Structure 1
Amino acid sequence: MIERGNAIPSVGIKLVNASGVAETTSDAVLGSGTVVLFSVPGAFTPTCHVNHLPGFLANAVKLRAKGVDRIICAAANDAHVMKAWAEASNALGDVEFIADGNADLAKALGLAKDFSASGMGTRYARAAMIVRNGAVSDIFVEDAPGVNASGAPAILMALETAQA
């Protein structure tokens, strides 16, 4: 699993944002400034849709006030699903989305998790990280169901601690 101080790997991804869908690489998207990347098992899945993404939307202004340049959500879904989720959540403009359909970035980050028992195949573990100029400064991986360590309030606390 990626650790503090490690550089973000370069993996082909699709970025979904207010401009549309673009093919790019993970290091190009996460390589400059301060980025909060949070990963979810799947777009539209109950906890992701009702708890995880909405927390980042509700706290986007506070995160930016703490120096965050970009808020990005990653999931092992295709770009069409990620775009539909972004639009349905009114997230475009506040949150960008990484569509990692084959979970290649999830695997490169060490965040791939087998959800085959639920019929979902390889997905992301629920997690969040603060990335500064392409290197991980903090990483938070959930060790139980729900959104605690990887939610927006926890990231805000980590950012406040770093500023102190």
Structure 2
Amino acid sequence: MAPKVGDPLPDATLFEGDPETKVSIKQLFGNKKGVLFAVPGAFTPGCTKTHLPSFLNDYDKLKAGGVEVIACVAVNDPFVTNAWGEAAGGTGKVRFLADPFLEFTKALGVVLEAEKMLGTNRSKRYSAVIEGGKFKSFNLEADGMGTTCSLAPNLISQL
């Protein structure tokens, strides 16, 4: 079951850039105000052409709203996730975090059954505002893959 407003952000170990660089999602957000979003896969069409660009295009608006950290989670290996962030021009704006074992995705209850289509299960597409270690909002796409409610412009009013 997906998180609800007021639920605490679960902890999980994610990877940034390579398998040696581990990131505790709970420590990353700490007591900061942040934005978290997940994509079904790096380099996939909706993620690359619509979802990620929405956060890069609205980066200044999110920062103006007090956002201290923006993180993207993808169920890919850390090398792929990192290369995708670099290719999209998101390095330095968005933290690109790999969840290759679905640890965080399972903790949130947002596993996308995509084994037949993508070779493995992935994360449903969502976005959230995290404040003080808790969910201030959680926007889960109804089909797990669309690009409507989880885009950055929808989060600006939720800050």
TM-score past 0.5 threshold:
yes
**Match in the other structure for 2:96:** 97
**Match in the other structure for 1:124:** 123
* Percent identity of paired positions between Structure 1 and Structure 2: 34
**Match in the other structure for 1:162:** none
Q: Give the deviation of 1:87 after TM superposition.
A: 0.7
Q: Give the deviation of 1:32 after TM superposition.
A: 2.4
Cα displacement string for residues 103-162 of structure 1 (whole angstroms, at most 9, x for unaligned residues): 110000111111112033211101001000211110000114431100011111222xxx
Q: Secondary structure at the match of 1:83?
A: helix
Alignment partners' CA distance in 2, 1:67 and 1:155? 12
Q: How many aligned residue pairs are there?
A: 155
Q: Secondary structure at the match of 1:102?
A: coil
**Match in the other structure for 2:156:** 156
Q: Give the deviation of 1:15 after TM superposition.
A: 2.8
Deviation beyond 4 Å, 4+ runs, structure 1: none
Alignment partners' CA distance in 2, 1:42 and 1:30? 22
Q: Give the deviation of 1:14 after TM superposition.
A: 1.0
Alignment partners' CA distance in 2, 1:31 and 1:15? 17
Q: Where do 5+ consecutive residues of structure 1 fail to align?
A: 160-164
Q: CA RMSD in A?
A: 1.3
**Match in the other structure for 1:53:** 52
Q: Where do 5+ consecutive residues of structure 2 fail to align?
A: none
CA contact (8 A) 1:31 1:135 kept: no
Identify the range of structure 1 (63-72 vs 110-119) with the bigger mean alpha-carbon deviation: 110-119
Q: Give the deviation of 1:77 after TM superposition.
A: 0.7
